[in-house]
Amino acid sequence: MIRYAEYFISHTGQITTLFAVGVVWFALSFIGGMVCGRERFREGDFIFGWALVCLLFTVGGVFTGLSFSMIAFACAMLAVAGGGVLWRRDQLLITPAWGRLLLLAAPLLILVSGVVASQWDEFSHWLVNVRFLLLTDGFPDAANSVSGSSFPAYPYAWPLLSYLTGRVGGDLLEATGPMMNVLLLLGYGLLVMRVVANGLGKSWNHEKQGWSLCALGGLAAIAFNPTFVQKIVLTTYADTSTAVALGFATVLAWFMLEAQALGDAKSARRFSWQAGLALVLVVNLKQSAFVLFVVLVFAVLLVGLRDPKIRGGGIVRLLPGLLIPPLVIYAVWRYHVTTEISGGEFSIRPFSAWAFDLLPQMLHAMAYVAVKKSLYFGIMVIAAVLGLMALFRLRTSFDRLAILAGTLFAGHTAFLLFTYLAAFSRGEAARAASYWRYNMHLGAVCVAFAALGLAILWRKYLTGRIDPARLKWVPIVLFLAAPFIFAHKLRFDTDPPVPHFRAVGAEVAGLLPAGSKLVVVDPTGTGESGAITRYEAGGKFDANTNISAFTPSTVEHIGKTIERAKPNYVLVHSITPSVREVLGVELEAGRSTLLKGNPSAGWTEVKSWPRAE
């Protein structure tokens, strides 16, 4: 029972995290609501405000000498002004629908506020980038380029959120990413309910939506989302935020096309700029996401060219809103990377080095993932087929969304195949590494497409046969109960061995003198222990050499690796006969051991820790 309670109440830092995330979320929402005006989709206020703040930080951080703290202070003043504008203009700071959904989500948000980092890329990239921003108060550049991150040249829209909560909370708050992901999904759930209302032929009003519909929106984006994977969503990975930003951009582009088809040019222009702000985030979240922006714009042009209700000139007049904001931030960041940062991102190999010989294995691996995740891939294949058919006979709003969703799926799949051929290592290419995770970028689009299709089918075949009012309690009960039922699955960060590696790494960071050199020896492990130790070191000492199951386990290799590194400390997490022979120490199995010495004089034990499995 105590263990179960600890899923929700893990540490006192949760209060700080809840407060800091709430402050940043409301502040960015106030900015977005103020700038985008009264006639906006209010569920997108945070998206719009986040995009505007990213523009300010990127332009200011690249072209001025302003520190991030000064830019953050300016954004805080904008947020205060935004709150005043919303109160005077809209007579509310948060819509009733948002308020109801946040109350329903309170158990989930409390649980997530206790999450700590547990995944490889968090320790090697995402949180390292956040720490760099907090320490240096600016982007990596030629004068301050050593960040310790695997990809310091990646865009910074996602780390900026953790930077802001860190400034509010006084330190890096590891639960910021998971909490922001949940809030993003909740906001997208409200947008999906707007799409459903459109499919049912009804209007959507934030002031009139009851608890049941709000809960249904949350379920649609989380529990009914075929790409919801807790080990991605409840981390600092940028995959969920990319999916939500693309989902907002796609749905807003769809509403833009709907308005243009109805002859409402004013609404179409408004939607185009709102979609453009969402696309600012798409191109500034991950290096590869620029392709999603290009494919979505191409899909919009396809609809404009094939839709008999839309004139070509009308689409052209909408392009500035779609193109200018994302292209500005993309160009500014590419300028900064080109002039200030060397490497630090994925690169394309020369054509002669492309892995064409592995193409059959790649396709087989991709097909295997598609079969395993058949719900998502089935929906998106349907979207692609219906989108292709709609190009020849476009008649309905559903056809327009099918073209957008189907084109995104086809274009993204082709791009992923290209990256396996031209960018990934041969081992990663052969197994189509992370193919499922990259498809999660289209998860929100998948949900919107499926929701519209189901709403249309309901309206056509079930209206009058089933009374939804009799079932309105079901979404509320499901949404409230889910965090309690699945708490053990959602708090995967408490599963061994990561907590052990983190605890040992943190203690080692306190034991070792600054400037020390450490080799992490874990010949039966994945290498995660090494990444965690480097993260916990925080740059205090060098822990860049790591022996894992992916390196040869022979006496010769382990000995040469340690000899080349010339460490004065070795941290052993797992033991093999080769490790015992090289180190010359009788190590106890089932324990992590810190040794001091050098390869020529021998090693002595400093401290050891029992390893709980």
For the stretch 316-350, pLDDT in tens is 999 999 999 999 999 999 999 999 988 767 788 89
Q: What is the pLDDT of residue 65?
A: 85
pLDDT value at 312 more than 80: no
- Mean pLDDT score across all residues of the chain: 94
Task: Summarize pLDDT for 480-520 with one digit per residue, the tens.
Answer: 999 999 999 999 999 999 999 999 999 999 999 999 999 99
**Helices 127-136 and 157-169, interaxial angle, to 10°?**
60
Q: How many other C-beta atoms can be found within 10 angstroms of the C-beta atom of residue 92? A: 15
State the average pLDDT over residues 391-420. 97
Q: What is the pLDDT of residue 313?
A: 79
Q: What is the pLDDT of residue 4?
A: 92
CA distance 558 to 542: 18
pLDDT value at 460 more than 70: yes
Question: What residues does 570 pair with on adjacent strands?
Answer: 519, 595
CA distance 534 to 502: 10
Comparing 46 with 552, the larger pLDDT belongs to 46
Q: What is the pLDDT of residue 314?
A: 85
Q: What is the pLDDT of residue 462?
A: 85
> SS3 for 569?
strand
pLDDT value at 206 more than 70: no
Q: How many other C-beta atoms can be found within 10 angstroms of the C-beta atom of residue 40? A: 18
Q: What is the pLDDT of residue 32?
A: 97
CA distance 595 to 607: 7
What percent of the chain has a predicted confidence (pLDDT) above 70? 99
Q: How many other C-beta atoms can be found within 10 angstroms of the C-beta atom of residue 208? A: 10
Of the ranges 95-99, 102-106, 297-301, which one carries the lowest mean pLDDT score? 95-99
**For residues 211, 212, 213 and 216, what is the CA-based torsion angle, rounded to 10 degrees?**
120
pLDDT value at 207 more than 70: no
pLDDT band per the 50, 70, 90 thresholds, residue 157: very high
Q: What is the pLDDT of residue 463?
A: 80
CA distance 110 to 123: 23
Residue 464 DSSP symbol: T
Q: Contact at 8 Å (CB) between 522 and 547?
A: yes
**How big, in percent rounded to 5, are the helix, strand and coil portions of the chain?**
70, 5, 25
Burial of 471 (0-12, 13-18, 19+ CB in 10 A): exposed
State the average pLDDT over residues 196-217. 85
Q: Contact at 8 Å (CB) between 518 and 542?
A: yes
- Residue where the block lists tokens 């998206």: 47
Q: Among 185, 211, 25, which Cα is nearest to 104's? A: 211
What percent of the chain has a predicted confidence (pLDDT) above 90? 87
CA distance 394 to 387: 9
Q: What is the pLDDT of residue 583?
A: 94
Q: Contact at 8 Å (CB) between 377 and 400?
A: no
CA distance 345 to 11: 35
Q: How many residues does the chain have?
A: 613
Domain ranges, ordered by start, for the chain: 2-490, 498-610
Q: Contact at 8 Å (CB) between 293 and 279?
A: yes
> SS3 for 141?
coil
pLDDT value at 526 more than 70: yes
- Residue where the block lists tokens 């009733």: 96
Q: What is the pLDDT of residue 210?
A: 87
591 alpha-carbon distance from chain centroid: 35
Q: Contact at 8 Å (CB) between 571 and 592?
A: yes
Q: What is the pLDDT of residue 145?
A: 77
- CA distances, 113 to each of 13, 119, 443, 451, 499 (Å): 9, 17, 24, 29, 17
Q: What pTM, to 2 d.p., does this model score?
A: 0.96
Which CATH number does 498-610 carry? 3.40.120
pLDDT value at 360 more than 80: yes
Q: What is the pLDDT of residue 216?
A: 95
Phi–psi pair at 601, nearest 5 degrees? -90, -15
Q: What is the pLDDT of residue 422?
A: 94
State the average pLDDT over residues 64-72. 95
CA distance 102 to 109: 9
